[in-house]
């Protein structure tokens, strides 16, 4: 039948415990949090992990399954009565397996169906955190794991799933439909502030649907379900759901951005003071003045004033900061690398040979998990060579060699806000008249767009962008405003001139030699509409002239007294012959 018992488990030796030896065995004595004296046998002096052997707080069921194998299953029950009920259920399933009503796998699945679903979610997240990531990535990113868990919890709570028995594909479909129709509203944050909450788009909903489908696949692989209830769950169409449309920088904006990035750290200390409109009661306060904004025209003068206003050591540090930022932008704009990928580059990853300079992006730091050798423009390679030589020289002055494993750039965590301030100082609008915006990731859009403008083939652009989908090259990372469509249309061959005969006919004003069209007229029994014949009172032409006194009409065969219009071929000649 089976039995229930509390197994012995090993716990760490409590802090402050006293160890004694009795009858050749080691015991530990300590007082618990309530002040009671506790005593337990230890694992022994020779144990690799010293600990005390105590009784578990929950019962375990021991029984023989349908295949005759003795199994021990943790019931999670703290009382013997509740554990006995679990044992009875397990024994009943074993009897059904022996009787051929259930298979062994079905019996295991039946047991999992009664477990709370959040325990399965925790097990799935634990397995996902230990699985290998893309390509050379040893682990799945913690951000992805957090997003998966959040998506699963959102669907489970919205659909009211408590156990695996409750999983229902239709409920998930209803939830996705309700999410699309959800109106915009307000959300209160943890700090008490409120913000606008837009309704989720198909892309956001699909991310959660993908998570629940993958969760179902794992349940089947872990033999907790016989089949995935979400296997045929279709994702929403997200082709038109582009929440953040990015634009590309022009060549002029590219140059202004690099200039501002190089000078702004020092120019911030040389901004002139301008007076505000006087405010009553605000004398001698910050409300009466402000710093003038930086522009492309004034940033050089402001940098000169900042150089003279700060200490020499600070001026050098600010100059290096601007130089490094400009090189970071230039590298991203000419290679298409992402912010995190550029931040992962080291000195050893840069090959500045004169023939084919390049940088090597390691697989663990690439988004696709694959190692890539990215070519560099020769002018960009020259700038990087100057930057690395200067760093080596400064390190040598300090008596320290420049380590090859050191980062190529120190990319700040606040680069997004820094980029926005650089755009404002460069006079570059954040968004254009189409609503397409500029951000750090838009440098990747700029790179791909400039490749297309230069006439690079899409397949080559895919290799340069390190993507596997042509749609990303042609749609997502392409800014159509940079394409000269008018010149492309004018480059088409001119249409051929009309033939001499047609030109002569057109100039003479003669009628075109066309064959009259003869079609049955709806609502006119036995009548045909063409370019010849009498007209009806409504102005339409009849193909046959009607004779007075004749009332015989037919859809297929005309009346005998009717005469066919001359020059017209009957439309039902095969039937009337």
What are the tens digits of pLDDT across the range 18-49?
Answer: 888 888 888 888 888 888 888 888 887 777 77
Q: Closest by alpha carbon to 453, among 426, 479, 427? A: 479
Predicted confidence (pLDDT) per residue in 222-240, tens digit: 888 888 999 888 888 877 6
Mean pLDDT of 315-323: 95
Say if residue 523's pLDDT is above 90: no
200's tokens: 């989720």
Q: What whole-number distance in Å separates Cα of residue 246 and Cα of residue 240?
A: 14
Is a pLDDT exceeding 50 seen at residue 137?
Answer: yes
What is the Cα–Cα distance from 563 to 533, expressed in whole angstroms?
Answer: 11
pLDDT category of residue 69 using cuts at 50, 70 and 90:
confident
pTM: 0.66
Give the number of other CB atoms < 10 A from CB of residue 43: 15
Q: What is the mean pLDDT of the chain?
A: 83
The pairing of strands 18-22 and 25-31 is antiparallel
Q: What angle do CA 249, 321, 417 make, to 5 degrees?
A: 50
| H helix intervals, 398-495 | 415-426, 442-453, 458-465, 470-471, 485-490
The winner for highest mean pLDDT among 35-39, 271-275, 297-301 is 297-301
> Could you report the per-residue pLDDT of 479-510, keeping only the tens digit for each?
999 988 888 888 888 888 776 665 565 555 54
Query: Residue 551: is it exposed, middle or buried by C-beta count within 10 angstroms (0-12/13-18/19+)?
Result: exposed
Tell me the C-alpha to C-alpha distance, in Å, between residue 71 and each of 54, 141, 238, 370, 454: 22, 37, 49, 45, 69
Burial class (CB in 10 A: 0-12, 13-18, 19+), 543: buried
Tokens representing 134 are 């893309």
pLDDT at 515: 47
Residue 2 has pLDDT above 80, yes or no: yes
What is the distance between the alpha carbons of residues 331 and 341, in angstroms, rounded to a whole number?
11
Banded model confidence at residue 447, pLDDT cuts 50, 70, 90: very high
Pairing of strands 358-361, 350-351: antiparallel
H runs (alpha helix) in 131-201: 142-159, 169-180
Sheet holding 60-64, edge to edge: 3-5, 60-64, 70-74
Report yes or no: 266 and 306 within 8 Å, Cβ to Cβ. yes
pLDDT at residue 282 tops 60? no
Of 283 and 240, the one with more pLDDT: 240
Cα separation, 173 vs 52, whole angstroms: 52
């Amino acid at each position: 039948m089976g039995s229930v018992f509390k197994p012995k488990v090993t716990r760490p030796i409590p802090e402050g415990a006293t160890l004694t030896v009795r009858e050749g065995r080691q015991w530990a004595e300590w007082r618990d949090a309530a002040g009671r004296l506790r005593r337990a046998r230890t694992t022994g002096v020779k144990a690799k992990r010293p600990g005390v052997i105590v009784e578990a707080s929950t019962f375990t069921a021991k029984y023989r399954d349908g295949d005759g194998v003795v199994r021990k299953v943790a019931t999670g029950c703290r009382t013997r009565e509740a554990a006995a009920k679990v044992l009875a259920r397990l024994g009943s399933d074993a009897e059904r397996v022996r009787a051929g009503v259930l298979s062994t796998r079905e019996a295991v699945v039946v047991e999992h169906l009664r477990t709370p679903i959040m325990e399965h979610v925790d097990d799935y997240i634990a397995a996902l955190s230990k699985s290998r990531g893309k390509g050379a990535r040893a682990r799945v990113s913690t951000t992805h794991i957090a997003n998966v868990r959040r998506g699963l919890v959102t669907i489970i709570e919205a659909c009211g799933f408590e156990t695996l028995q409750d999983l229902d594909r239709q409920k998930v479909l209803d939830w996705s439909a309700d999410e699309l129709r959800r109106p915009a509203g307000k959300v209160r944050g943890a700090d008490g502030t409120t913000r606008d909450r837009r309704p989720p788009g198909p892309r956001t909903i699909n991310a959660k649907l993908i998570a629940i489908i993958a969760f179902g696949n794992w349940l089947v692989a872990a033999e907790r379900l016989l089949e995935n209830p979400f296997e045929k769950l279709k994702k929403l169409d997200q082709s038109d759901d582009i929440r953040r449309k990015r634009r590309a920088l022009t060549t002029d904006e590219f140059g202004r951005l690099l200039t501002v990035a190089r000078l702004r750290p020092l120019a911030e200390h040389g901004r002139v003071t301008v007076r505000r409109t006087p405010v009553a009661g605000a004398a001698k306060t910050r409300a009466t003045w402000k710093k003038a904004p930086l522009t492309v025209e004034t940033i050089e003068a402001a940098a000169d004033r900042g150089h003279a206003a700060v200490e020499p050591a600070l001026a050098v540090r600010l100059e290096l900061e601007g130089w490094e930022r400009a090189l970071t932008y230039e590298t991203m704009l000419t290679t298409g690398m992402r912010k995190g990928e550029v931040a992962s580059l080291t000195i050893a990853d840069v090959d500045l040979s004169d023939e084919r300079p390049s940088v090597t992006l390691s697989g663990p730091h690439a988004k696709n998990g694959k190692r890539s050798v990215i070519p560099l423009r020769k002018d960009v390679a020259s700038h990087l060579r100057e930057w690395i030589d200067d760093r080596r020289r400064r390190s040598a002055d300090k008596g320290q060699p420049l380590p090859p494993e050191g980062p190529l750039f120190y990319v700040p965590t606040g680069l997004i806000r820094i980029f926005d301030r650089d755009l404002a100082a460069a006079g570059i609008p954040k968004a254009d008249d189409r609503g397409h915006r500029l951000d750090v990731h838009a440098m990747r859009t700029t790179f791909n767009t400039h490749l297309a403008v230069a006439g690079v083939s899409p397949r080559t652009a895919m290799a340069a962008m390190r993507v596997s989908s042509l749609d990303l090259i042609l749609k997502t990372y392409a800014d159509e405003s940079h394409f000269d469509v008018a010149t492309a249309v004018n480059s088409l061959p001119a249409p051929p001139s009309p033939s001499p005969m047609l030109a002569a006919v057109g100039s003479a004003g003669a009628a075109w030699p066309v064959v009259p069209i003869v079609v049955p007229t709806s609502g006119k029994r036995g009548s045909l509409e063409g370019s010849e014949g009498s007209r009806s009172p409504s102005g339409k032409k009849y193909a046959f002239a009607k004779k007075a006194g004749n009332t015989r009409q037919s859809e297929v065969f005309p009346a005998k007294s009717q005469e066919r219009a001359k020059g017209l071929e009957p439309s039902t000649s095969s039937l009337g012959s």
